[in-house]
Structure 1
């Protein structure tokens, strides 16, 4: 298991950043590796993003050395989304089966987590968001069918998409974590339109289901001072509270969004008109 670090940057720093600097501060690449678990500890509201791709042997974690506690979940909660083939996750010996686009909430107090794939040749691809938690909330499996689906956008503007809320007060409660999956409609390319800010929450995007030759152009920065990141399949973008977050793809894709901060009010956002972007 590896634990990378991202220390964070402010809006006054991006003017001096070249492409590699932007990627080093606001992206996490290469976490999805067959037969391994990888994490990245971000200093944006102390969210940890992670990935596990179990093949012929299960993968496990639970030690808290990297977060300063005896166990990983002593003061943390986590959401795990399966972006691959069928697999399973055990929490302290209790097994949960996850199909593609199913999710699992792990509450504070878990001790040992094991992750496995039903078929090593077609492995599960587990994507993880973990944030500090101050309440004990039961673990819960959230199948795709139980997520709350909401339609956004219109096909005429190429931004029609379906957002599914998994870890959300209206579906499966948590302490501070929100998590869901957005899929774009056929022939739509734009996500999160119009863009917005939420000063009281940070967000992480994990882009997935891109073909090898396709990319997403993710826009970030202050509305009057934007930058872009070129994102491939399974890349993760960290969006601090001061930044917009939106993107367009050269082909089909989906993304997992995870948020944490002062509240869980999904509508606590400040919209930004397209004409105001610079």
Structure 2
């Protein structure tokens, strides 16, 4: 369990590239044969990655979160970004194909994760946030997600947004989670950039080739910074920061949010011409 304490908007002026990455990115979560977590102090979201090979990987103890068990006061979404795999929650097994998502409710005792084929392992990406109520664990397949088609081809921002853990699809306490794919020929993952002062967001970029990168923009609208992001990297976006990104090649990203509400439209757009 790594730690990410983050920083306020008045602190980024003094940060060099390495310091920005140390505070607002998580790298190397997807390590073959391992399960890794990072505890962020952005609304106490935990991000995690697991790549099971021949043997299963499991967790459930609460020593890193200050409770007897991990899920005593937490919920989680787990997205499979790799080959076919399975997740066992308190003895009940769920099969996850690529881009299926499992919601795991508060009160769970133990989670076990496995791949169907070690040569093409599952990539399990996890978002966990504090939860005040227990909601039943549920598998949301790719076909069951709600798709929104957004953007403008002339401005290179056409994209398909799939909502998984969302009040309109599958309920949770405070977690929102989904997957966005820019259309062929489009590069921007959201437009215009925006703020949501009542929620933080984590981005997990995936399906990038080895040579491609996403240029992720952050910071206050009048004081922006950028992060160069590779396949499997996670960007942590605090409530005070804009977020938008452009890729040098095809990519997708998982978005996970938590905060005061689950109102996806509770955002404040920022005109591109106002950015500095």
Fold shared per TM-score above 0.5: yes
Q: TM-score when scaled to structure 2?
A: 1.00
Q: Deviations over 1:221-241 (max 9, x none)?
A: 000000000000000000000
Tell me, in whole angstroms, the C-alpha distance in 2 between the residues paired with 1:235 and 1:206: 6
Q: Secondary structure at the match of 2:30?
A: coil
Write out aligned runs for 1:191-230 (5 A). Answer: 191-230=189-228
Write out aligned runs for 1:188-267 (5 A). Answer: 188-267=186-265
Write out aligned runs for 1:151-166 (5 A). Answer: 151-166=149-164
Tell me, in whole angstroms, the C-alpha distance in 1 between the residues paired with 2:201 and 2:22: 17
Q: 1:143 aligns to what?
A: 141
Q: CA deviation at 1:93?
A: 0.6
Q: CA deviation at 1:184?
A: 1.0
Tell me, in whole angstroms, the C-alpha distance in 1 between the residues paired with 2:130 and 2:68: 15
Tell me, in whole angstroms, the C-alpha distance in 2 between the residues paired with 1:21 and 1:51: 22
Q: 1:113 aligns with which of 96, 104, 111?
A: 111
Q: CA deviation at 1:85?
A: 0.5
Tell me, in whole angstroms, the C-alpha distance in 2 between the residues paired with 1:136 and 1:114: 20
Q: 2:89 aligns with which of 88, 91, 97?
A: 91
Q: 1:16 aligns to what?
A: 14
Tell me, in whole angstroms, the C-alpha distance in 1 between the residues paired with 2:162 and 2:189: 14
Q: CA deviation at 1:155?
A: 1.1
Q: Deviations over 1:18-62 (max 9, x none)?
A: 000000000000010000000000000000000000000000000
Structure 2: which 5+ runs fail to align? none
Structure 1: which 5+ runs fail to align? none
Q: Over aligned residue pairs, what C-alpha RMSD do you find?
A: 0.4
Tell me, in whole angstroms, the C-alpha distance in 1 between the residues paired with 2:124 and 2:264: 24
Q: 1:275 aligns to what?
A: 273
Q: Deviations over 1:203-245 (max 9, x none)?
A: 0000000000000000000000000000000000000000000
Write out aligned runs for 1:39-50 (5 A). Answer: 39-50=37-48
The structure 1 segments of at least 4 consecutive aligned residues displaced by more than 4 Å after TM superposition are none
Q: TM-score when scaled to structure 1?
A: 0.99
Q: 1:4 aligns to what?
A: 2
- What number of residue pairs does the alignment pair up? 276
Q: 1:129 aligns to what?
A: 127
